[in-house]
Structure 1
Amino acid sequence: MKYDQIDSKLFVKNRKKFTAYMRPKSIAVFNSNDIYPIGADSTLPFEQDRDIFYLSGADQEETVLLLFPDAMDSKHREILFVRETNDHIAVWEGAKLTKEKATEVSGIETIYWLSDFDKIFFDLMTEADTIYFNTNEHYRQAVETQTREDRFIEKVKKEYPAHQWAKSNPVLQKIRGVKEPEEIAIMQRACDITEKGFRRVLGFVRPGVWEHEIEAEYLHEFIRNRSKGFAYSPIIASGGNANVLHYIENNQQTKAGDLILMDLAAEYANYSSDMTRTIPVSGKFTERQKEVYRAVLRVKDEATKMLVPGTIWAEYHKEVGKLMTSELVGLGLLDKADVQNEDPEWPAYKKYFMHGTSHHIGLNTHDYGELKTPMKANMVFTVEPGIYIPAEGMGIRLEDDVVIQEKGEPFNLMRNIPIEIEEIEELMNS
């Protein structure tokens, strides 16, 4: 790992929050992710499952966390199983968690080698009535690959058919959505690294540079600041490419007079940031570009003010739609007839702003968090309105990450990242 070690007190708190929701005499198990093959002897870089990381801080493959608050032997109430390491593995693959280091990282006293899991698990299951399975129930998930967690669930259902089953996901949705101060501090660091990348790029962009060259500038700055790199596939969309919402080819040359929409951000310690900025290739916005840009910025600023405790996510999006409708009428993109005759299921503004405005962010870019219940303090949301006008060859989106406060407006983790037209132009021409 490149990041500074996180204080294990965070993971101790997270486990306490989870176990507080568990049924009596129940066990919860969380598996690390697989290492995925590419072909021959090549694999994708390892990415830890965010749930086991959230609860333990363990950031390596072949790791299992077991929680059993009612275990008869107190040392078995929290167990972390890790891959047994040795000098040979250290030479070929680098240092792995020793039992002592695993305790230091996680705050868990009982550490076993993974080879002991089946024997210990069987013994503990004789004391338990229920097992919590960790299924992925995120509203945007579309996983086709069988995961390590899937294989574990399949095996346990076959070998322990008399036990009751429960779901970890509803608990994780509830507790992961509300961030601890330590998590917000980590996310702030990710945002600060993103700021460094953006400021670097403002001094680099000029007509003729390629989108992938801009991507390289960001990546250089992110990695030199102890990030693994991008929190998600970067979008660097110049000119009309900005009208493709998930444009990730980044293979076109920029042209004078165009805008570049950049939706990208750094991760830090597995936590995401999520930024979008739109800048002029030539260093100066045209009057029309300024007009549309200011409309998007007004919507973003007003939408941000709505993110307060008690707000309902679905209702919030309807209100943002009203703000955007007003701005689009002002820009001459919609008229009153368009609004009066709109389909309630697909309002008129959706022609130019077809995606949502906010999502939870944290260990995942589209993070776990409750969406059907009122918002709570210390939830972290993106705010990302956009206006896309293919006929004019431009798309403008602006996005910040904000923390809901107990009272008052949200706290903007990206408050130091330039967004005003005048500051962007000044920095690009300095």
Structure 2
Amino acid sequence: MMPHCAAHAARRAQLLGRMQAGAVAVLGTAPEVPRNGDSDYPYRHDSHFYYLTGFAEPESCVVLVAAQGEHAGRSILFCREKNVEREIWEGFRFGPEAARDAFGFDEAYPIDELDARMADILADAPALYYALGSGVALDARVAGWLKAVRARGRTGVTAPQTTHHLLAMLDEMRLLKDEHEIALMARAGAISAQAHARAMRATRPGMFEYEIEAELLHEFRRNGAQFPAYPSIVASGPQACVLHYNANNRRIEDGDLVLIDAGCELDGYASDITRTYPANGRFSDAQRTLYELVLRAQGAAIAAIVPGRPYSAIHDAAVRVLTEGMLDLGLLDAGKVGSLDEAIASRAYAQFYMHGTGHWLGMDVHDVGAYRDVASPDKPSRPLLPGMTLTVEPGIYVRPGEGVPERFWNIGIRIEDDVVVTDAGGRILSVGVPKSVTDIEALMRKH
């Protein structure tokens, strides 16, 4: 077995241990998707499938059979057969035998045999775990397998009597990252940090946002990252007040702030970093004031990352700092919104800060896992545990409006880092890119 696939085998074993004795789990990977004509979009595997297998080829399926009595658990891969002619056009394929040995499966078969073999695999299994309700085609396929098993009823064979939602189980497993995953995410964070620093050094008034985006993409790929983890945001001037802006086609003007929200994907794991900096290398007084407010909010949020504390404490810490700053700077009128606690309770801050302070991060940039306490549904937020990985990204977005101080108009700022929860608190994975006003201005003065 390939050394890096031992982690995937361990996850399969963990899932098998959580399943009902003798039950069967089935999970396919993502399909190839046509782009136009005879061209497909660049292929990207399904995250849940890759989490269990480490296998990145399309047209693949994994089947797990939990141990029961004298029968040990089994892991079975279905994948494309070797095809030398197709490999000339499309590249290397493992084929079932090589994939079985390389990725540590007990058995492997051609994907064309999946339907025929599932009736045997499901015979007398007490339960079936699969992605319930994820698509009409999958539900119909599962119904076909169960019908084939029931057709053998006269011989005493029984079909699974219950079904379970497999993805919910995997979501909870994926929420806690192991050392292998954290190391990959730290490397992805380092590559993305280099890309952000490169973008800062390259920025000049008069450039187009897409020119800066090109610097990011160059650094991602130059360091081995396979994809951007999501469409990169390069937002200058008033566009920085659009949270998910990604047209990236505006000409950057002197005096603009540039907000970049971008991260790479490395070996299936995402990074997600945001930095905001002045295009001309120097913050104006108003820009500096709001920037340092957001930076203080991020510091308070990261300090709130302590094992055992609720996830919501991160957002609460950021909101308190931001709301107090909004009152002090006149963005919020205390005569209208009341005290700090009253302004927080009424969400008056949402005029300028309307999103959460972070999200889970992992194989997906907005990774899986419940934010509520699944063990205690009455609790609003789950406790933080070592191995959870998340972003911390407070911001402030000031659009022109009645009563809004004009010196702050069209300033949008967000600062985001990737953080893993440890026994000692939060450890930042996205180090290596300037964040303080002094360090940002110093970097840009050099270039």
Which residue number in structure 2 is paired with residue 157 of structure 1? Answer: 143
CA-CA distance at 1:229 after TM superposition: 2.6
CA-CA distance at 1:203 after TM superposition: 1.6
Which residue number in structure 2 is paired with residue 370 of structure 1? Answer: 370
Tell me how far apart the structure 1 counterparts of residues 343 and 124 of structure 2 sit (CA, whole Å): 57
Tell me how far apart the structure 2 counterparts of residues 320 and 100 of structure 1 sit (CA, whole Å): 53
Which amino acid is 2:206 matched to?
Answer: G
Which residue number in structure 2 is paired with residue 420 of structure 1? Answer: 436
Q: How does 1:50-199 map to 2 (within 5 A)?
A: 50-70=47-67, 77-103=74-100, 105-135=102-132, 150-160=136-146, 162-163=159-160, 164-199=162-197
Q: Secondary structure at the match of 1:33?
A: coil
Tell me how far apart the structure 2 counterparts of residues 276 and 124 of structure 1 sit (CA, whole Å): 48
CA-CA distance at 1:336 after TM superposition: 2.0
Do the aligned partners of 2:176 and 2:388 also contact (CA within 8 Å) in 1? yes
Which residue number in structure 2 is paired with residue 347 of structure 1? Answer: 347
Tell me how far apart the structure 2 counterparts of residues 304 and 180 of structure 1 sit (CA, whole Å): 21
**In the TM superposition, what whole-angstrom CA distance separates every residue of 1:32-87 from its partner, at most 9, and x where no partner exists?**
11111223212211110000000000111000000112278968710011111211
Do the aligned partners of 1:266 and 1:274 also contact (CA within 8 Å) in 2? yes
Tell me how far apart the structure 1 counterparts of residues 299 and 3 of structure 2 sit (CA, whole Å): 33
Out of 153-162 and 220-229, give the one that drifted further: 153-162
**In the TM superposition, what whole-angstrom CA distance separates every residue of 1:248-287 from its partner, at most 9, and x where no partner exists?**
1001110000000101111100100000000101011111
Q: Secondary structure at the match of 1:330?
A: helix
Which residue number in structure 2 is paired with residue 404 of structure 1? Answer: 421
Tell me how far apart the structure 1 counterparts of residues 329 and 100 of structure 2 sit (CA, whole Å): 59
Which residue number in structure 2 is paired with residue 361 of structure 1? Answer: 361
Tell me how far apart the structure 1 counterparts of residues 166 and 273 of structure 2 sit (CA, whole Å): 30
Which amino acid is 2:223 matched to?
Answer: N
Aligned residues: 414
Q: Secondary structure at the match of 1:410?
A: strand
Q: How does 1:236-247 map to 2 (within 5 A)?
A: 236-247=234-245
CA-CA distance at 1:369 after TM superposition: 1.9
Tell me how far apart the structure 1 counterparts of residues 47 and 143 of structure 2 sit (CA, whole Å): 24
Tell me how far apart the structure 2 counterparts of residues 363 and 105 of structure 1 sit (CA, whole Å): 22
Residues 105 and 194 of structure 1: CA distance in aligned 2, closer, same or farther (over 3 Å): farther
Do the aligned partners of 1:211 and 1:254 also contact (CA within 8 Å) in 2? yes
Tell me how far apart the structure 2 counterparts of residues 104 and 420 of structure 1 sit (CA, whole Å): 50
Do the aligned partners of 2:66 and 2:72 also contact (CA within 8 Å) in 1? no
Which amino acid is 1:217 matched to?
Answer: E
CA-CA distance at 1:117 after TM superposition: 1.4
Residues 189 and 107 of structure 1: CA distance in aligned 2, closer, same or farther (over 3 Å): same
2:407 matches 1:389: no
CA-CA distance at 1:291 after TM superposition: 0.7
Tell me how far apart the structure 1 counterparts of residues 47 and 223 of structure 2 sit (CA, whole Å): 22
Do the aligned partners of 1:206 and 1:281 also contact (CA within 8 Å) in 2? yes
Unaligned stretches of 5+ residues in structure 2: 148-158, 374-382, 401-408
Tell me how far apart the structure 1 counterparts of residues 435 and 98 of structure 2 sit (CA, whole Å): 43
Q: How does 1:210-359 map to 2 (within 5 A)?
A: 210-340=208-338, 347-359=347-359
Do the aligned partners of 1:312 and 1:371 also contact (CA within 8 Å) in 2? no
Report which of the two structures shows the higher radius of gyration computed on alpha carbons: 2
Name the Cα RMSD after superposition: 2.1
**In the TM superposition, what whole-angstrom CA distance separates every residue of 1:1-58 from its partner, at most 9, and x where no partner exists?**
xxxx870111012112222221122111110111112232122111100000000001
Which residue number in structure 1 is paired with residue 378 of structure 2? Answer: none
Q: Secondary structure at the match of 2:202?
A: coil
**In the TM superposition, what whole-angstrom CA distance separates every residue of 1:220-256 from its partner, at most 9, and x where no partner exists?**
1111111123100111000000111000100111000
Which residue number in structure 2 is paired with residue 140 of structure 1? Answer: none
**In the TM superposition, what whole-angstrom CA distance separates every residue of 1:125-163 from its partner, at most 9, and x where no partner exists?**
103121111248xxxxxxxxx75xx52232213541653
Which amino acid is 1:205 matched to?
Answer: T
Q: How does 1:15-34 map to 2 (within 5 A)?
A: 15-34=12-31
Tell me how far apart the structure 2 counterparts of residues 411 and 56 of structure 1 sit (CA, whole Å): 28
TM-score (norm 2): 0.88
Residues 344 and 413 of structure 1: CA distance in aligned 2, closer, same or farther (over 3 Å): closer
Which residue number in structure 1 is paired with residue 36 of structure 2? Answer: 39
Q: Secondary structure at the match of 1:378?
A: coil
TM-score (norm 1): 0.91
Q: Secondary structure at the match of 1:293?
A: helix
Do the aligned partners of 1:56 and 1:105 also contact (CA within 8 Å) in 2? no
Percent identity, aligned pairs only, is 34
Tell me how far apart the structure 1 counterparts of residues 25 and 314 of structure 2 sit (CA, whole Å): 35
Tell me how far apart the structure 2 counterparts of residues 395 and 228 of structure 1 sit (CA, whole Å): 30
Do the aligned partners of 2:77 and 2:96 also contact (CA within 8 Å) in 1? no
Which residue number in structure 1 is paired with residue 153 of structure 2? Answer: none
